[in-house]
Amino acid sequence: MNTLISNATVLLPDGTTKQTNIAVTGDSIVKIGAVPADWKADMIIDAHDKFAVPGFVNAHTHASMNLLRSYADDMKLMDWLQKEIWPVEAKMQDEDIYWGAMLAAVEMLRGGTTTFADMYGPNMEKVAEVVEQSGMRGVLCRGIIGVAPNGEAAFESNKKLYRDFNGAAEGRITIMFGPHAPYTCPPDFLRRVAETAREMGAEIHIHLAETKGEVEDCIKAYGKTPIALMEETGILSCGVLAAHCVHLTEDDISLMQKYHVRVAHNPGSNMKLASGIAPVPKLLAAGVCTALGTDGASSNNNLDMVEEMRLAALLHKVDTYDPLAVPAFEAVRMATEYGARAVGLQDTGKLMAGCKADITLFDMHGAAWTPRHDLVSLLVYSASANSVDTVMVNGKILMEKGELLTLDEERILYEANRCAEQLTK
């Protein structure tokens, strides 16, 4: 299948923009620019007045938590988890995981997100089904709480998830191991997870250094920061996607640099839960791959990557008193190129020949896009996810002119609301 996206204004990997064509064959981009005379399009998308950017990568979320949006707000993290979230999550069944993830898929596709890294459970095979049916990319893991009564069962479930789904859905599914955090997984348990991940060839997705209390408790218990403890347990040597990383020492950053740890920065969630401000400019300066995530819709309360770009660009300016701390294009790279690298995908996140055809088209008609002095600046500081027009993943159109093609949105909204009411009332 050859698809020509014609007359688009394309965001190129160097941050410049150009009105040109994108030629797609199968699942990949074959040409940016004039197409060869012998290349014939089976389908043509007229992208005049559209801004083509790489599909966004949500590098850390909990998709099925969409059922808990607005359920327990304005609370401290541990109170929020222990008193409200974990008790409800313990009641979740297959259909809750499925419809919650379906609701997340609707929201993410409408916002131009093409890939998401999801930690949740149980029943993560239902999220894999959502990935397969929606056409999105999913980097999935079973969240494992080692101290819980079902800790061993969750560990075994993650192994099975890897065996059954890694590489599934035409290669759109990647499976990681998901030990929740150092405060829920003791060192010996983490060592076993690291050993198994290495044996199976999987990487690790884990929450690290999210709050001051977590870091203080870890030092008190083990004499080490969470990052240093992860080195001791062997977790860092597996290849790590580390969510949050708010409270870091200089030594922590050096270790992360040494082990090529990739960070999922979640500014919206960190602000809402009052967790603090991650040292993103320092991480970027040290060459630590730093991507963006929304966290779950229970702590954000949306999966809007355009909003996360804006928050990342603004938050670190005011924190450092430096207007250049995270420039607009760097924020876009965090949501695209760095996001793809963070979740372990080497051939997505950029619009160039040889990359997967994961493409989002923004409709530039409207006040937020006028005047057009700098399109990257407009995308980060002015636009909203509402102007997403068309979304392509792996060369297939999943949303066209605002219409979702792979998902029954009305049924999903109905079923998700039904499940949420049963869980919470």
- What whole-number distance in Å separates Cα of residue 77 and Cα of residue 401? 39
275 sits in which H/E element: none
- What whole-number distance in Å separates Cα of residue 113 and Cα of residue 136? 8
Number of neighbouring beta carbons within 10 Å of residue 281 = 18
Number of neighbouring beta carbons within 10 Å of residue 147 = 11
Is 0.85 topped by the overall pTM?
A: yes
Closest CA to 196 of 252, 157, 149: 157
pLDDT of residue 80: 83
Closest CA to 238 of 344, 163, 157, 142: 344
22 sits in which H/E element: strand 17-25
- What whole-number distance in Å separates Cα of residue 179 and Cα of residue 186? 10
Mean pLDDT by 10 residues, the chain (425 residues): 98 98 98 93 97 98 95 85 88 95 98 98 95 98 96 97 98 98 97 98 98 97 98 98 98 98 98 96 98 95 98 98 98 98 97 98 98 98 98 98 98 97 90
Closest CA to 335 of 366, 374, 379, 378: 379
Q: Express each pLDDT in 144-170 by its tens digit.
A: 999 999 999 999 999 999 999 999 999
CB 242 within 8 A of CB 262: yes
What is the residue whose two structure tokens read 């990997």? 13
pLDDT of residue 81: 83
Q: Which long-range contacts (CB under 8 A, 24 or more apart) does 250-254 make?
A: 251/225, 251/227, 252/209, 252/225, 252/227, 252/228, 253/279, 253/282, 253/283, 253/286, 253/288, 254/286
Q: Express each pLDDT in 321-359 by its tens digit.
A: 999 999 999 999 999 999 999 999 999 999 999 999 999
For 382-423, give the DSSP string.
Answer: T--GGGEEEEEETTEEEEETTEESS--HHHHHHHHHHHHHHH
- What whole-number distance in Å separates Cα of residue 53 and Cα of residue 332? 9
3-state secondary structure 148-182: CCCHHHHHHHHHHHHHHHCCCCCCCEEECEEECCC
Residue type, 412: I
- What whole-number distance in Å separates Cα of residue 93 and Cα of residue 320? 45
Number of neighbouring beta carbons within 10 Å of residue 103 = 28
Closest CA to 354 of 32, 123, 132: 32
Q: Express each pLDDT in 103-120 by its tens digit.
A: 999 999 999 999 999 999
- What whole-number distance in Å separates Cα of residue 50 and Cα of residue 64? 32
Number of neighbouring beta carbons within 10 Å of residue 424 = 13
pLDDT of residue 36: 87
Residue environment code for 167-186, b if the CB has 16+ CB neighbours within 10 A, otherwise e = ebbeebbbbbbbbbbbbbbe
Closest CA to 386 of 371, 369, 374, 370: 369
Closest CA to 59 of 107, 119, 123, 122: 119
356: left (phi over 0), alpha (psi -120 to 50) or beta: beta
Query: What would the CATH number be for the domain defined by 2-54+349-404?
Result: 2.30.40.10
- Longest CA–CA span in the chain (Å) reads 68
Q: How is the chain split into domains, by residue range?
A: 2-54+349-404, 56-342
418, exposed or middle or buried, with CB in 10 Å at 0-12, 13-18, 19+? middle
- What whole-number distance in Å separates Cα of residue 101 and Cα of residue 124? 10
Class of domain 56-342: alpha beta
